[in-house]
Amino acid sequence: MALSNKKRIILSKIETAAGTSVASVMSAADAVLCSNLTISPLEGSVVERNLIRPYFGSAGTSRAENFVTLSFDTELASGTGTSSLPQWDNLIKSCGFSRSTSGALAATQTGGMLSGTVGAATAVVAPATTTTTIVLATIHVGPSITDDYYKGWAIRVGAQLCGIIIGFTALTKTATVSVPITAAQTLSTTYDLINGSTLSSGAVGATTTAIGGTVTLASTANANDGYYVGCSIRIETATPYTGVITGYVGSTKVATVSTATIPIMTTGTTQYVLSGATHTTTMLKLAANAAFTDDYYIGLTLTATTLVPKAVPDGTPVPVVETREILFYSGVTRTAQLNAALTTAPNPSTTYALGGATIYALSSETASIGDSSSTFIVNIDKQNHIVYGARGTFSLDLTVKQLPMIKWSFTGLLGDTAANISQLNGGSLVGDFTAWESPVVVNSVNTSQLNLCGNAPAISKVSIDIGNAVVHRMLIGAESVIVSDRKPKGSVTIEATDSTMIQAYLALIKSDNAAPFYLRHGAAAGDWVSIWAPKCQLGNIKYAEQDSMVMLDMSMDFQPMLSTASTGGNNELRIVCK
């Protein structure tokens, strides 16, 4: 009986050791839910003999190499819930991506302050002599802290504000400050490190008792309720007090602090300093304990909550919650750049929360590490094929009113098709597809957060090709499939709204400048897949038509960031499931 082309199935599993088949331990849960499955069961090159003879005819060939190629499409959907793995996890890892996970962070106050006593005393000097350095305490110089870790932080030494830290040497714990320190330092000299900036200072406006838990700020303080919530406060009493403001009434200037017991203060005499993070609508200063690694939070979803003053009925601040995506992150300054401006301007009360995610970043080491190649079993109506040591490439296709697709193409080594396969049930493979998530259609509701080189145009199609060069490599004593190069490219089709827009894109293309690209797809948190590129260079602009409306087709070339403020390569694309 002839074989039916309708009865096909493919299993896929990542290999523990690259190039070592795991076909014998694969199960029904390794089944791939796909379409357009094509396999070439035997490919390779041959050598012509080209013999000289006194008659015409072929002299035959000798096979030089044998390998297998296969291709198929899967739907673009995330895993089940935040930080879960998508079912195409092993496929993307076999295409030169490494995987990491980031747990969700609960609401955290922006900015922050660290305090301590100096770690080494300077010589007692005359009051006129100054220094621009201070040695920090060991507790603030842990093994994860690197040179310039505190660069950009504000600093207060004793009672003196000394500007910002302009340099930090981790080995000696020495910070260089922008404003000379006028007083001699001893081992009891205190300092504050402020991940933000000084917002306000002055003398307290009313005397409070030691058990009050509140402080009345100067009459010049902000009149909006909740404005200073989250700010660090230092009260200059005999024993300086440092805490955090947890509540603020603008009409009375009364701030509630984080501890119930505070020093006794004198009206008009006791000085205080408020410090907190400075933000813009597109740049948030994260907390002092945020990651110090550049790019660490790129692609994650940030939820910002800002208290906005309300005039009636009781003046209680109203929390405004907004969600944005992180385009860039600097570990040195703890600042996160957002993909679009916040509608409500952040203030010192702003808190943020980061959603968990599974992050796929590019790697250039796929030829030499494990966990980077796959074994496939392809069964066509009981005829099985085994492919191992497989690596590949893929492209993404998001077209409006259609399902988003990932189009995979793999090359692998030829396995023993007669090998015993434990998954065979009467000659047929059994597949379990229950873990595969259903995708949502590409449209204005499900596809959002677009940032195309600083703009958010209406789009009809985005295509991205990872551009891996996949090579079957045959040597004496060695055989493998490797990814030998990578050049990601793509295309985008947008609606041409007016001549100003067209001229803007023409100018950008002519300038050869590259700018960020960002796109998020999915119905809700837990189902989102975002695609990020720091340097997208547009080119080859052409007119097109859709629904009798003018469209613009442009090519995209994705390039890595190589600046010292980045990871330095392997960052031209990032795919995040969250």
pLDDT in tens, 203-212: 666 554 444 5
Highest-confidence segment of 216-230, 302-316, 468-482 = 468-482
Positive or negative, the CA dihedral 410, 413, 414, 418 is: negative
How far is the C-alpha of 124 from the C-alpha of 186, rounded, in Å? 8
- Across residues 372-390, what is the average pLDDT? 90
- Across residues 415-439, what is the average pLDDT? 72
Asked whether the predicted pLDDT for residue 278 surpasses 90, the reply is: no
Asked whether the predicted pLDDT for residue 168 surpasses 70, the reply is: yes
- Across residues 33-48, what is the average pLDDT? 93
pLDDT value of position 372: 87
pLDDT value of position 463: 97
* Whether 233 contacts 215, CB under 8 Å: yes
Q: Give the mean pLDDT of the chain.
A: 82
How far is the C-alpha of 250 from the C-alpha of 315, rounded, in Å? 9
How far is the C-alpha of 140 from the C-alpha of 136, rounded, in Å? 7
pLDDT digits (tens, 9 = 90+) for 119-136: 554 433 333 457 888 888
* Whether 457 contacts 505, CB under 8 Å: no
Question: Which helix or strand (DSSP H or E) is residue 505 part of?
Answer: helix 499-511
Backbone phi and psi for residue 200, each to the nearest 5 degrees, phi listed first: -160, 155
Please give the single-letter amino acid code of residue 348.
P
Asked whether the predicted pLDDT for residue 48 surpasses 60, the reply is: yes
436 vs 6 pLDDT, higher one: 436
pLDDT value of position 531: 95
- Looking at residue 293, the DSSP 8-state letter turns out to be S
pLDDT value of position 114: 52
pLDDT value of position 144: 47
- Across residues 538-556, what is the average pLDDT? 94
Residue 110 pLDDT grade (very low, low, confident, very high; cuts 50, 70, 90): low
pLDDT value of position 390: 96
How far is the C-alpha of 301 from the C-alpha of 576, rounded, in Å? 10
Asked whether the predicted pLDDT for residue 257 surpasses 50, the reply is: yes
Q: Which two tokens mark 332?
A: 């040195």
Residue 541 pLDDT grade (very low, low, confident, very high; cuts 50, 70, 90): very high
pLDDT digits (tens, 9 = 90+) for 304-341: 988 776 655 555 667 889 999 999 888 767 789 998 89
* Whether 29 contacts 65, CB under 8 Å: no
What is this structure's pTM? 0.76
- Looking at residue 2, the DSSP 8-state letter turns out to be P
124 vs 450 pLDDT, higher one: 450
pLDDT value of position 398: 97
Q: What is the dihedral of CA 187, 193, 198, 201, to 10 degrees?
A: -30
pLDDT digits (tens, 9 = 90+) for 76-102: 998 765 556 899 999 999 999 998 888
Q: Which residues contact 86 (CB under 8 A, 6 or more apart)?
A: 77, 78, 79, 358, 437, 529, 577
Give CA 166 to chain center in angstroms. 27
**E strands of 237-332, at which residues?**
241-249, 254-257, 271-276, 283-285, 301-308, 318-330
How far is the C-alpha of 400 from the C-alpha of 148, rounded, in Å? 46
Residue 143 pLDDT grade (very low, low, confident, very high; cuts 50, 70, 90): very low
User: Edge to edge, what strands does the sheet with 335-338 contain?
Assistant: 105-109, 351-354, 301-308, 318-330, 335-338, 283-285
**E strands of 400-522, at which residues?**
405-414, 424-425, 428-429, 447-452, 459-465, 468-475, 478-486, 489-495, 515-521
Return the percentage of the chain with pLDDT > 90, whole number. Answer: 37
- Across residues 175-194, what is the average pLDDT? 78
H helical segments located in 249-337: none
Asked whether the predicted pLDDT for residue 187 surpasses 90, the reply is: no
Helices and strands, number each (H, E), in the chain? 2, 39
Return the percentage of the chain with pLDDT > 70, whole number. Answer: 81
Radius of gyration of the CA atoms of the chain, in A: 31
